Amino acid sequence: MSSFEWNKIIASVLTAMIVAMVAGILASSMVRPKHLEKAAYLPPGAEGEAGASTAAAPAGGAAAGPEPIEPVLAKADPAHGQQVAKVCLQCHTFEKGGANKIGPNLFGVMEENIASVPNYQFSSALAQHKSEKWDPDKLNVWLYKPQSFAKGTKMSFPGLPKVQDRADVVAYLESLK
């Protein structure tokens, strides 16, 4: 083989290596990983470490559940609550005699027992509270995070984080009589 052929082979290998190196540098600059604040998955055996860190959080003064609704309920605005409750319209109705959708009709819910809307099949998690009545405190927990009120409920709504929004929705529901 002539030296010219060897030069072509060496040049091809060097060019391939340079292209691979440049591609790696470009890919690293274009794709930046976003690190999670909290682990998405804990492998077996790691629960003890995570449990210790989460157990220390409530002791440090952070609230484990929703803020109390009573102080904000006095200045709650039912009209704003109706606006906030528009996110509920995908699954619920608010009219008197309204049909049940994916979720039950919520007209007059403040006067009813929990999980007692006629012609609606509630999850067993919510049916366990059937003997209780809805009140502002229970609705506060429900609207904050439905899964924390009744673990295993069918309702997949993530909740309303702002206490004023929850108070306004409770005032709106109380106005539906």
What integer pLDDT is reported at residue 148 of this predicted model? Answer: 87
The dihedrals phi and psi of 35, each to the nearest 5 degrees, come to -80, 135
**Alpha-carbon gap, residue 26 to 36, rounded angstroms:** 24
| pLDDT-based confidence at residue 93 (cuts at 50, 70, 90) | very high
Please report the sign of the dihedral spanned by the C-alpha atoms of residue 113, residue 160, residue 177, residue 69: positive
Tell me 9's DSSP state: H
SS (H, E, C) 69-126: CHHHHCCCCHHHHHHHHHHHHHCCCCCCCCCCCCCCCCCCHHHCECCCCCCCCCCHHH
| pLDDT-based confidence at residue 44 (cuts at 50, 70, 90) | low
**pLDDT above 90 coverage of the chain, percent:** 49
Would you kindly state where each structural domain of the chain is located, as residue ranges? 1-30, 70-175
Nearest to 161 by CA among 136, 143, 138: 143
**Alpha-carbon gap, residue 61 to 130, rounded angstroms:** 33
Average pLDDT (74-102) is 92
| pLDDT-based confidence at residue 154 (cuts at 50, 70, 90) | confident
Homologous superfamily of the 70-175 domain (CATH): Cytochrome c-like domain (1.10.760.10)
What does the mean pLDDT of the chain come to? 85
From the number of C-beta atoms within 10 Å of its C-beta (0-12, 13-18, 19+), residue 142 rates as buried
Q: Which two tokens stand for residue 107?
A: 């007209």
Residue 17 has pLDDT above 90, yes or no: yes
**pLDDT above 70 coverage of the chain, percent:** 86
More confident: 97 or 42: 97
**27 pairs with which residues across the strands?**
none
- In one-letter notation, the amino acid at residue 20 is A
| pLDDT-based confidence at residue 46 (cuts at 50, 70, 90) | low
